[in-house]
């Protein structure tokens, strides 16, 4: 999943693709580099970010969605927690709603996703982007995320969303400390027991900078290390900025995971 932020203030690429032509060109390059899904966001969810109204969010994303839907075969995801934005994006050609609130921010979101038969990514976040990193606290971060996401999956199914249309995301960096993020990544296999495809987004995030003392633009190596560990531990979808290198790292990690699983099955037999 290639990240396409058409915002002026996202933490990594804010402003780079706010121009529609630049955004469309970037999406097409990500597809060439190996992306299967383009995740388009018109509102920053970086720590401390404020809200953007639906009209502005739609002004940013709809021209890009329409162009990609007509000019490419990309699977298009809309990164939003607003049902009105999701509806317009789905009508314009998007097929997935990536909701950082796991459909809790807008009571109309679940019905909207169900109406369109769309895919949905349910993410865990403690708090809101404006204050989520102030002082995140958990008794057991992994079990609390598992319980929350299981509940949200059940809610989605009850709302009429097919189980096979639902993916889950532990929300690396969304109301988590560096230690929390590492605990999640080390225990991703617990999340796979929920039974839904597992998406992980750690590309260029702050905890990588803390661990490596690197700036946002110099976090590719750390991102690839985290991606490799995530895939080995069960992640099936990686949300990334740097598609080409990430595709290669993910491909190798997936191949190793497959061989590891095959070997384990042979040993049991």
- Alpha-carbon 34 to chain mean position: 17
205 is catalytic: yes
Half-sphere exposure of 203 (CA within 13 A, CB side): 24
Q: How far is CA 24 from CA 6, 99, 244, in A?
A: 10, 22, 17
**Active-site entry in 60, 87, 204, 239:** 239
Q: How far is CA 153 from CA 22, 82, 86, 122, 158, in A?
A: 36, 18, 18, 8, 9
Cα pseudo-dihedral 78, 83, 84, 87, rounded to 10: 60
What's the rounded Cα separation, in Å, for the pair 202 and 226?
A: 7
For the chain, strand residue ranges (E) read: 2-5, 37-41, 75-79, 96-99, 119-123, 166-169, 199-200, 237-238
Half-sphere exposure of 102 (CA within 13 A, CB side): 27
**Active-site entry in 152, 204, 205, 206:** 205
For 133, phi and psi rounded to 5 degrees?
-100, 10
Tokens of 25: 């060109």
HEC-encoded secondary structure of 181-234 = HHHHHHCHHHHHCCCCCEEECCCCCHHHHHHHCCCHHHCHHHHHHHHHHHHHCC
82 is catalytic: no
Question: Looking at the annotation, which residues are catalytic?
Answer: 205, 239
């Amino acid at each position: 999943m290639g990240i396409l932020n058409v915002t002026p203030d996202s933490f990594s690429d804010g402003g780079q693709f706010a121009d529609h032509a630049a955004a469309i060109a970037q999406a097409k390059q990500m597809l060439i580099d190996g992306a299967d899904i383009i995740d388009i966001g018109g509102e920053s969810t970086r720590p401390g970010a404020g809200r953007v109204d639906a009209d502005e969010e739609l002004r940013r994303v709809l021209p890009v969605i329409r162009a990609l839907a007509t000019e490419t075969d990309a699977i298009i995801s809309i990164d939003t927690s607003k049902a009105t934005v999701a509806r317009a994006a789905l009508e314009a050609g998007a097929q997935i709603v990536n909701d950082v609130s796991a459909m809790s921010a807008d009571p109309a979101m679940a019905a909207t996703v169900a109406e369109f038969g769309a895919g949905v990514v349910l993410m865990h976040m403690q708090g809101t982007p404006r204050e989520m990193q102030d002082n995140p606290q958990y008794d057991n971060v992994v079990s609390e995320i598992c319980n929350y996401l299981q509940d949200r999956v059940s809610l989605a199914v009850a709302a009429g969303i097919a189980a096979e249309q639902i993916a889950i995301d532990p929300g690396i960096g969304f109301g988590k400390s560096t230690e929390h993020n590492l605990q999640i990544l080390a225990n991703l296999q617990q999340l796979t027991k929920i039974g839904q495809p597992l998406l992980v987004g750690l590309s260029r995030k702050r905890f990588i900078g803390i661990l490596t003392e690197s700036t946002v633009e110099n976090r590719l190596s750390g991102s690839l290390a985290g991606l490799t560990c995530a895939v080995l531990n069960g992640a099936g979808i990686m949300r990334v900025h740097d598609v080409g290198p990430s595709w290669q790292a993910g491909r190798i990690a997936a191949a190793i995971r497959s061989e590891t699983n095959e070997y384990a099955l042979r040993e049991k037999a």
